[in-house]
Every structure is written in structure tokens, then in C-alpha cells.
Amino acid sequence: MATYQESTTKVRTVHGRTESFQIEVGLHQGSGLSPFLFAIVLDTISAEMREGLPKELLFADDLAVIAETEQDLQRRWIIWQKTMEAKGLKVNTGKTEVMVSGKGDERIVIRDKEGETLNQVQKFKYLGLMLGEKGGSMLAVRARVKAAWEK
């Protein structure tokens, strides 16, 4: 696209603006194409990685990888991380969490490709729904009742 060829920018800092530099990847901030192109990239990555039935949940920039064993989760996570980075996407491992479901208080260790341990949590919110390691829907029901009372 001609719009994106030879684009340059400056960055505003506390010390003023930087010198101009060429933009080599990305889209203009606020571009209407951004969400659409991002969805295409994630869909392509997901299709490339599929081994039988889907074992991941994708929505916008959220990804949930599902596995039966710690070893399978570790393997699948590294593959996802490497594949996304090969496509130019940066994975924020600081915001990446691991949750074991249905196995009590079991602790596991999942590492990113640099060897950093991912944070294990007992619950997390996915698409506005609270999911907990014990399974069931009570956590989600309690969260929705609490939100209603806070309004």
C-alpha cells in the first residue's frame, strides 16, 4: 500500500522530539485496518498450529491455550510464543498467566522461551467471565452479583 511506503515518524519524549526515523513494520495508530489485519494474522497462526481439535481460545488479543498435561502445555506454549514472534507479534509474558483446573492446589512450572517462569493463578477473567481452578460457575456468578451491587 502506498500509504505505508517510506513512512517516517518522530517520538515525543520529556526531552523533546526525536529525529525522524523510518517505520519498517506496523500500521498507523488508530487505523481501521488494525483489528482486521490482527485477526487475520492470529487466525493464520492458529490454523498453522492446529493438531486435531482446537486447543486454544482466541478473542482479540487474548489467547487461552488448553492442555491435558504440564508437558503438553509447556510444549504448546513455546510453539505459540515462537510462532507469534516469527510473525512479528510480541508476547507480553509479564501478563501471561497459567491456571491448573480441576486438580486441587497443584503447582506447575511453565517457562517462556527465555526460561522465565510464567505466573500461576487460581482464577482469571476471560471475556468478562471469571474462571477458577476448581471449575464450575459459582465464581462467575459471585463476580456478576458483586458487580451489580457496586453499580
Query: What would the grid cell of residue 126 be?
Result: 476471560
pTM passes above 0.75: no
| Residue 120, C-alpha cell as written in the block | 500461576
The total of structural domains in the chain comes to: 1
Residue range 88-143, pLDDT digits in tens: 888 888 888 888 877 667 788 888 899 999 888 888 777 777 777 776 667 667 77
User: Quick check: helix, strand or coil at residue 34?
Assistant: helix
The grid cell for 30 is: 488508530
CATH assignment at residue 140: 3.30.70
pLDDT at 3: 54
pLDDT digits (tens, 9 = 90+) for 20-60: 998 877 666 677 787 888 888 888 888 887 777 777 887 77
Mean pLDDT, rounded, for 146-150: 81
Domain with 65 in it: 2-150
